[in-house]
Amino acid sequence: MEKEMVNQDAPSEPTVTLLERRYLISGSRVTGFRTWEGSLHLASYLLTESGKELIKGKVILELGAGTGFLSILCAKHLQASHVTTTDGDEDVVEALKENIVLNGLGSDQQVVARTLNWGDDLEATWVKQDCKARPYDVVIGADITYDKVAIKALVTTIHQLFDLQPGLRVLISGVVRNADTFESFRSECLSRRFSVEELGFQAKPMRQQKTLFYAAAVPIKILSVSGPG
């Protein structure tokens, strides 16, 4: 299913075009073939003046990118200098590459899609060289804190990224479907002496939304994480 996001009504407005495969989700645990509310909420924040300043001219790394909506938004409309977009599922990464091309970003290597498994030793992966070539400024992730089993591996990867680039800013957005699971991410970060701050950015009721449309009945939070020390 092909879907245009950011503005669905006015062709003169900025758009992100995505090919989603929602029918694949019901048959597996892979959730990366559609765009979820946490991604849309983080995108809404990044489209504010404060959010734009975080991305403009910066090198971005996305974890658990799924369809690539956020990475494409950063590269295509928010003037990121470079985006490395990642997912742990190889089929999702292949679909991600299709969406990058679909948005006209496939020829200049401004956005590069790679496979990254959380918890792996980054010193032994492509990440170390990628970060050395283009030091990351901001790490983003949305809808990646829903699985309590995977949280420790996710935070391990974030910790290793801080080791590679101590000044990183990390933004993690998630729908709080299960308060204990979401809080386990915060607790794991704090146990490693990360600083964790919840951004005071609230989702508007759908009737008041003008650009991105997503359900906001369940709380959606954005956490800003910085490294120890």
Q: What CATH number has the domain bearing residue 33? A: 3.40.50.150
Tally of structural domains, the chain: 1
> pLDDT tens across 93-147, in order?
999 999 999 999 977 789 999 999 999 999 999 999 999 999 999 999 999 998 8
Give the residue ranges of DSSP H helices in the chain: 37-46, 49-55, 69-76, 90-102, 126-133, 148-164, 179-191
Helix (H/G/I), strand (E/B), else coil: 212: coil
Q: How far apart are the first and last CA of the chain?
A: 46
Q: What is the pLDDT of residue 4?
A: 56
Q: How far apart are CA 77 and CA 74, in angstroms?
A: 6
pLDDT at 146: 84
Residue 224, Cβ neighbours under 10 Å: how many?
14
**pLDDT score, position 147:** 87
In terms of residue numbers, what domain contains 79? 2-226
pTM: 0.87
> Which residue ranges of the chain lie beneath pLDDT 70?
1-13, 20-36, 205-211, 213-215, 217, 229
DSSP 206: G
The DSSP symbol for 127 reads H
Angle of CA points 40, 46, 50, to nearest 5°: 150
CA torsion sign, 34 to 39 to 40 to 43? Answer: negative
Structure confidence at residue 219 (pLDDT): 82
Crossing angle for the helix pair 69-76 and 37-46, nearest 10 degrees? 20
- Structure confidence at residue 202 (pLDDT): 80
